[in-house]
Amino acid sequence: MKAKTFKGGAHIPHYKSWTEHIEIEKMAVAPYVIIPLSQHIGAPNEPLVKKGDKVKVGQKIGDSTEFISAPVHASANGVVTDVDYFPYYAGGEALSVRIESEGDEHEFHPTVQRDPESMSVEELRSAIREAGLVGMGGAAFPTHANISPKTPVDSLLLNGAECEPFLTCDHRLMLEKSEELIAGAKIMMRCIGAEKCYIGIEVNKPDAIDKLQKMLENEPGMEVVPLEVKYPQGYKSTLIKAITGRDVPRGARSADLGCVVRNVGTTIAGYEAVVYGKPLIERVVTVSGPKVGKPGNYIVKIGTPVDFILQQCDVVPEEGCKIVMGGPMTGKALTTLEPGIVKSATGILVLPPDMASAEVPYTDCVRCGKCVEYCPMHLYPNQLSIYAEAELYDLLEKWNASDCMDCGICSYVCPGHRPIADFVRKIQPELKERSRAGKTG
């Protein structure tokens, strides 16, 4: 079958060979974890614990009464030493719970084993909400909200593209937790009322495609869709276009197109939440880079400090290297190694100076048109970067800057090294504010 794709995007080096064949392994538990109270898009959580409290693995430690939010849970047994502001991976500080781990036993032991078939849709959504699930591919949108569409949905699209270089955690999950993935997909399908499920996988993961295709032979309504290897194949709009052929109009949500898109890791976590009541207290993280002593795909407790992860993987950061949480295109370069791993962290990458995009001076736009050619949202990134630099918000609105999905391709292809995506990212909060004021004012 010919691999499907979308118009635009770019072929970029994969760098997946360091970890793609390494089986998932559990990482040791750190002496302490720092768990940010709000790791999702939506209303912030209030702490449910205070300094000195003893906590158990899986205990809820932060929650909100708002619908668009997701609770957080203790990932280790221990004692709360602080509820305070700690360095956050995306910059600045975030209100977090610091737990000093006690003892050697930090596994989650389920007290239930439920049959999803015997549960109502509301019970399924509630189990997913209580487990604090968010989009684990990077989006961090609360999953229970995502699977409560207000308009009819016909298709669930599972995102197994994993289109960013280095990352292989989803690849390994599709191979090693295939049954849970299929069971999780059925749960999601029931929640959204979809009759079809497509698992989109880039063709550089032939073993995962092959395995899931065989397993789905007798599953009517579920199929694997091989995708061309191209960045950003795994974004919502590009995935929807590639798999269903449907265009996502400006301002539309995927549910408006009859689709709900979920990451494969989130889908497996959804299965564990529903069947075992397991909260999102750990996730698989790819630790990679040419100088990582022990690269791999590790199950890491949420809140594990980055410097502990680096120690466990025999990394001695060299002068000028870049440590990134997430993928190299959309992840965040860390300014300190203190932050704890968050629910949406797909990787910890150690990029040596020759791979890290150095802070080179950028030039004026030479109007080569490359960024326009590659932009998967069919925007004019060259214009947007100029308007964003000058904070010309009327023009940014006119040129649809809010449609930017922050894929970073424009910066990657620009011969003048213009940090286009950074410019466009910085003006988004103000654009949102203006849009809100326009709607309510």
Report the interface residues with ligand SF4, using CB under 6 A: 365-371, 375-377, 379, 381-382, 384-385, 404-410, 413-416, 418, 420-421, 424
Task: Give the nearest distance from C-beta 328 to ligand SF4 in angstroms.
Answer: 14
- Minimum CB separation of residue 245 from ligand SF4 in Å reads 20
3-state secondary structure of 307: helix
Q: CB-wise, 300 or 388, nearer to ligand SF4?
A: 388
> What is the nearest approach in angstroms of ligand SF4 to the Cβ of residue 387?
12
Kindly tell me which of 43 and 405 has the beta carbon lying closer to ligand SF4: 405
First CA to last CA distance, the chain: 52
CA 314/CA 306 separation, integer angstroms: 12
Category of 272 on φ-ψ map: left (φ > 0), alpha (ψ -120 to 50) or beta: alpha
Q: Which residues pair with 157 in a beta bridge?
A: 198, 261
The DSSP secondary-structure symbol of 294 reads: S
CB of 259 to ligand SF4, least distance (A): 19
Residue 241, amino acid = K
Residue type, 139: A
Tokens 């970067």 correspond to what residue? 385
Which is closer to ligand SF4, CB of 31 or CB of 369? 369
The answer to whether residues 149 and 192 touch, using CB atoms and an 8 Å cutoff, is yes
Cα–Cα distance between 378 and 241 in angstroms, integer?
13
Neighbours of 429 (CB within 10 A): 9
Residue number, 34 or 421, with CB nearest to ligand SF4:
421
- Of 310 and 407, the one with the shorter C-beta distance to ligand SF4 is 407
Q: Which is nearer to ligand SF4, 69 or 237 (CB)?
A: 237
Give dist(CA 173, CA 182) in Å, integer.
12
| Cα 327 to Cα 348: distance, rounded to the nearest angstrom | 8
Nearer to ligand SF4 among residue 268 and residue 424 (C-beta): 424
Taking the complex as a whole, the smallest distance from the CB of residue 364 to ligand SF4 amounts, in Å, to 8
Q: Find how far residue 339's CA is from the centre of its chain.
A: 17
Distance between CA 115 and CA 118 in Å, rounded? 6
Q: Residue 78, Cα to own-chain centre: how many angstroms?
A: 28
* Structural contact between residues 237 and 248, judged by C-beta atoms closer than 8 angstroms: yes
CB of 41 to ligand SF4, least distance (A): 18
What's the closest the beta carbon of residue 329 comes to ligand SF4, in angstroms? 9
Smallest gap from residue 416 Cβ to ligand SF4 (A): 4
**Which is nearer to ligand SF4, 2 or 367 (by Cβ)?**
367
Instruction: Pick the closer one to ligand SF4 by CB: 187 or 329.
Output: 329
Backbone φ and ψ for 125, nearest 5 degrees, come out as: -60, -40
For residue 279, give both structure tokens: 């909260």
DSSP category for residue 257: G
Closest CA to 194 of 142, 277, 257: 257
CB 252 to ligand SF4: min, Å: 15
